[in-house]
Structure 1
Amino acid sequence: MWYLYGVVLLAGIANAIQPGQNAALAKGFSQPITAGLVVGITTATTVLVVGLVTGRLSWPSSGGMASIPWWGWFGGVFGGGIVITQLLIAREIGAGAFLGLLVTAGVVTSVLLDHFGWVGFAVHPATPWRILGGILMVGGVALVALF
């Protein structure tokens, strides 16, 4: 189970590197959004290859599809929004500020999602310690962005 934390740490490192890669890709196109299509195609290809190699790729049954909440189908919209933000904004504000804002907004939002059990998450109350952690992240990002 602990190895999963290592995998998430690697994903965090990739999350810090990806905006620079995407911004460099966007710079090579006459329109930066075109780079988003390249990112989407390579993302889909990566998911397909990993799914095929691991044997964890299957289409749900009609009953399974019907049980998915309507909002469950729109995760890709948020992913596309993140990629577009990387393409258009990351280079302008810098890696530290960009990722700091992205992660901090995600953590603060996650505390709310956990507290109320929204979008399928189990309820984890927003304790004073969790709230303090979110506040400290906001303060830390302010320092990274300002200095």
Structure 2
Amino acid sequence: MWFLYALTIAAGLANAIQPGQNATLSKSLGLPVTAALLTLLVSTAGLLAGGLALGKLEIPTGQQLGQVPWWAWLGGFLSILLILAQLYASPAIGAATFLGIIVTVGVLASLVFDHFGWIGFQVHPASFWRVAGAVLMVVGVGLVAVF
């Protein structure tokens, strides 16, 4: 279980670093959409190499593909939205404000997803303390954005 927390911490760090990297790629090339495509190509190559090296890359069967809910296929489009926001918004509003908004909106949406068990998550009721924590995050991001 500790590995999952370490992986999540590493992902949080990557989430703070990636917007600057992607925005710099975009600025250096002067081609934001091309930079986004290159970012996704590097991600694809990395996943392909890692999956092959670990022996974890398999082609799904038709039955497996047929069992996937329609909405689960849209995750790739959400990746595009996140990368484009990194390219256009993060340089303009700054790293702290950008990441604060991303994380806070994510927490607020996650509270709803958990509470109702939507999009594949188990039900975790939105208790007073969970909602209070989300409200504090909104206030905190407001302070970061204003000051």
TM-score normalized with structure 2 length: 0.97
Q: What is residue 101 of structure 2 aligned with on the other side?
A: 101
Q: What is residue 27 of structure 2 aligned with on the other side?
A: 27
Query: Which segments of 5 or more consecutive residues in structure 2 lack a partner in the other structure?
Result: none
The equivalences for 1:1-147 within 5 A come to: 1-147=1-147
| Offset at residue 3 of structure 1 (A) | 2.1
CA distance in 2, matches of 1:134, 1:53: 40
Partner SS for 1:28: helix
TM-score normalized with structure 1 length: 0.97
Moved over 4 A (4+): none
Amino acid at match of 1:43: S
CA distance in 2, matches of 1:53, 1:138: 42
Query: Which segments of 5 or more consecutive residues in structure 1 lack a partner in the other structure?
Result: none
| Offset at residue 55 of structure 1 (A) | 1.4
Partner SS for 2:126: coil
CA distance in 1, matches of 2:62, 2:3: 34
Sequence identity (%): 48
CA distance in 2, matches of 1:3, 1:67: 29
CA distance in 2, matches of 1:10, 1:69: 29
Q: RMSD of the alignment, in Å?
A: 0.8
| Offset at residue 57 of structure 1 (A) | 1.2
Partner SS for 2:29: coil
- Which deviations, in whole Å up to 9, do the C-alpha atoms of 1:86-140 show, x marking residues without a partner? 0111000000000000010001100100111111111111111111111011011
CA distance in 1, matches of 2:51, 2:130: 35
Number of residues of Structure 1 aligned to a counterpart in Structure 2: 147
